[in-house]
Chains A and B, each alone.
Chain A
Amino acid sequence: MPRPDRFTGRVGVVTGAASGLGRATAIGLAAEGARLVLFDRDAEGLAETAASCPGSVCVAGDVTAAADHARVLDAAAPLGPIALVATAAGILGPAAPLTDVAEADWDRLFAVNVKGTWLAIRAILPQMLAAGRGAIVTFASGAGLAGNPTMPAYSASKGAVVLLTRSLAVSHVTQGIRANCVCPGPIETPMLRDTFAQAGDAAAVAAREAAFRARNPMGRFGTVDEVAESVLFLLSDAASYITGVALPVDGGKLA
């Protein structure tokens, strides 16, 4: 249920905005009045998201490239100072035992999930510090809070995002910056389907999906909108005394 009072007049940046959790977050923020810079490498997906985000602008680029984050700042300049950041860009990488992860895949995983998150924050934070105000939500994962045998490399990268976020929170808290992360569990997205698909043949895929479902106290997968609701809460003034938290949105899986 949109609450138009929450983000009217604020400028935000959403990375990974072309699909999944990033798209749902962007649409939610725009519905409540935020004007957004939407960032993703997928220009077509971005355009589709933008069609549901009035007043938004798109930047097609690579989150691992500092120069592309500079283009985000340029795109935001006409809108005003950036007050909100949601870093949804992320990849799954190999859902495989650590011994089977190729070095190039490991590097790519950490480049997108960790360095990409850091680069976005490094680019935007000076504006927030100058304004004395800013709210940041990063996207970690339930797999960033507990060891995960299905996708250990992804788990390691998301664990890094959790502590990047907490360090950010303790570093700049007296300067008006709040930083929190959401830790989605199994959410119905292409990434979740990819997690299952990497199990192998059809029987193995079905078995992995059944195991994920069985491990979840709610017995179902979440929706992208359910994650976006938490991101919007953490970005909003209702969360003005909340910083440094990692909020699971996982149907109780981590409990």
Chain B
Amino acid sequence: MPMRFSGQRVVITGAAGVYGRELSAAFAAEGARLLLADRSEADLAAAVPAGLAPDRVTLHAADLATDTGIDSLIAAAIAGGAPDVLVNNAGIYPFIPLMEVTPAEYDRILGVNTRAPFRLMQGIGRAMAEAGRGAIVNVTSSAAEVIRGNGVPYGASKCALEYLTRAFAIELGPRGVRVNSARPPFAEGSALVSMPPGYAEAVVARALLGRGRRAGAFADAVLFLCSDAADYITGAVLDVGGGGAINRRDGAATRARS
């Protein structure tokens, strides 16, 4: 298999999470040098792809809910030049019924899921534009399209992130930087707050490709969007949810409750 990312510098946020690990392994397997960010140094150390030479990975612990954390990551990412790839993968998905969301929870979700990618796209995107090249993928969700009554701030944050994707695509396109959104399959274990029994199963059941997600399926799509094969694709949303976003079989009422 050809190595599509040999020597490229790839920044991945939320690198210790379900998809962060999948993305790190996939980019590493195709020759990339990684800058992995997450909140906990220990979690990051455990997430480094097996067998990856130490000189090909840098770990950066930062809390993207804070400007200090965001600023430190931007500085690390552009030290020594603009990275080739930024994947805004970090996100939080607390399970909260709509009418019980507190202002503090709302701000925290929008902060990590929307404000942090916004600032990272400004800071790292600016360096990419000066270099005249770069690819950014924002990890969004079919929740941007399908209402989940217990994940409304999350869905709103992902809607906003898809909007930001388009705005940054237009802003940075003339300067050689592509910006796209990719929606992963639902993965249990990516939520900070545990979900009630049956909830994850109900969301997974929405997917039309019923066999469940294949490990690596999401990374395959993200790597495609970051590769030269996608060099005329920008401002797009690629849904890797097995058709869940176009599922209208269970009716609007059920969708609002799920």
Residues of chain A at the chain B interface (Cβ within 8 Å):
1, 3, 5, 166, 169-170, 173-174, 178, 185, 216-219, 222-223, 226-227, 229-230, 232-233, 238-245, 247-255
A252 CB, min distance to chain B CBs, angstroms:
4
Q: How far is the CA of A242 from the CA of B2 in the complex (A)?
A: 23
Do A223 and B232 touch (CB < 8 A)? Answer: yes
Q: How far is the CA of A31 from the CA of B245 in the complex (A)?
A: 33
Hey, which chain A residues are within 8 Å of B169, CB to CB? 217, 252, 255
Do A248 and B239 touch (CB < 8 A)? Answer: no
Interface segment, B31-39, B82-90, B95-103, B223-231?
Answer: B223-231
Taking A170-B247, A170-B249, A241-B213 as known contacts, 14 extra A-B pairs with beta carbons closer than 8 A to each other, sorted by chain A number, are A170-B243, A173-B243, A174-B210, A178-B209, A217-B170, A217-B234, A218-B232, A241-B214, A241-B217, A244-B239, A248-B235, A252-B170, A252-B178, A255-B166
B240 within 8 A of A: yes
Residues 103-157 of B at the A interface (beta carbon under 8 Å): none
Hey, which chain A residues are within 8 Å of B230, CB to CB? 229-230, 233
Do B243 and A1 touch (CB < 8 A)? Answer: no
Hey, which chain A residues are within 8 Å of B185, CB to CB? 241
Do A238 and B224 touch (CB < 8 A)? Answer: yes
Hey, which chain A residues are within 8 Å of B218, CB to CB? 241
Residues of chain B at the chain A interface (Cβ within 8 Å):
1-2, 4, 165-167, 169-170, 173-174, 178, 185, 207-210, 213-214, 217-218, 220-221, 224, 228-236, 238-243, 245-249
A210 CB, min distance to chain B CBs, angstroms:
15
**Given A170-B246, A229-B229, A240-B217; A248-B170 close (CB under 8 Å):** no
Hey, which chain A residues are within 8 Å of B238, CB to CB? 242, 245, 247
**Given A243-B209, A247-B233; A219-B174 close (CB under 8 Å):** yes
Q: How far is the CA of A239 from the CA of B222 in the complex (A)?
A: 11
B36 CB, min distance to chain A CBs, angstroms:
23
Do A1 and B242 touch (CB < 8 A)? Answer: no
Hey, which chain B residues are within 8 Å of A226, CB to CB? 231-232
Hey, which chain A residues are within 8 Å of B247, CB to CB? 170
Hey, which chain A residues are within 8 Å of B246, CB to CB? 166, 169-170, 244
Q: How far is the CA of A245 from the CA of B225 in the complex (A)?
A: 14
Q: How far is the CA of A242 from the CA of B242 in the complex (A)?
A: 5
Do A1 and B235 touch (CB < 8 A)? Answer: no
Q: How far is the CA of A245 from the CA of B207 in the complex (A)?
A: 13
Hey, which chain A residues are within 8 Å of B242, CB to CB? 173, 241-243
Do A251 and B173 touch (CB < 8 A)? Answer: yes
Do A169 and B243 touch (CB < 8 A)? Answer: yes
**Given A226-B231, A255-B166; A247-B236 close (CB under 8 Å):** yes
Q: How far is the CA of A253 from the CA of B245 in the complex (A)?
A: 23
Hey, which chain A residues are within 8 Å of B240, CB to CB? 241-242
Hey, which chain B residues are within 8 Å of A233, CB to CB? 224, 229-230
Do B221 and A238 touch (CB < 8 A)? Answer: yes
Hey, which chain A residues are within 8 Å of B232, CB to CB? 185, 218, 222-223, 226-227, 249-251
**Given A170-B243, A229-B229, A252-B169; A241-B209 close (CB under 8 Å):** yes
30 interchain pairs, CB-CB under 8 A: A1-B4, A5-B1, A169-B208, A169-B243, A173-B209, A173-B243, A174-B208, A174-B210, A185-B232, A217-B169, A218-B232, A222-B232, A223-B232, A226-B232, A241-B207, A241-B214, A241-B240, A242-B242, A243-B242, A244-B243, A244-B245, A245-B238, A249-B233, A250-B232, A252-B170, A252-B178, A252-B235, A254-B235, A255-B166, A255-B170
Q: How far is the CA of A146 from the CA of B241 in the complex (A)?
A: 23
**Given A5-B1, A251-B234; A241-B208 close (CB under 8 Å):** no
Do A3 and B236 touch (CB < 8 A)? Answer: no
B6 CB, min distance to chain A CBs, angstroms:
12
Closest Cβ neighbor of B166 among chain A residues: A255
Q: How far is the CA of A245 from the CA of B182 in the complex (A)?
A: 12
Closest Cβ neighbor of B227 among chain A residues: A229
Which of these, B221, B228, B241, contacts A239 with CB under 8 Å? Answer: B221
B140 CB, min distance to chain A CBs, angstroms:
13
Do A173 and B217 touch (CB < 8 A)? Answer: no
Do B208 and A173 touch (CB < 8 A)? Answer: yes
Hey, which chain A residues are within 8 Å of B165, CB to CB? 255
Which of these, A174, A227, A232, A242, contacts B239 with CB under 8 Å? Answer: A242
Q: How far is the CA of A223 from the CA of B230 in the complex (A)?
A: 11
Q: How far is the CA of A1 from the CA of B236 in the complex (A)?
A: 23
**Given A233-B229, A255-B166; A241-B236 close (CB under 8 Å):** no
Do A248 and B233 touch (CB < 8 A)? Answer: yes
Do B243 and A255 touch (CB < 8 A)? Answer: no
Q: How far is the CA of A239 from the CA of B231 in the complex (A)?
A: 18
Which of these, A166, A173, A227, A252, contacts B234 with CB under 8 Å? Answer: A252
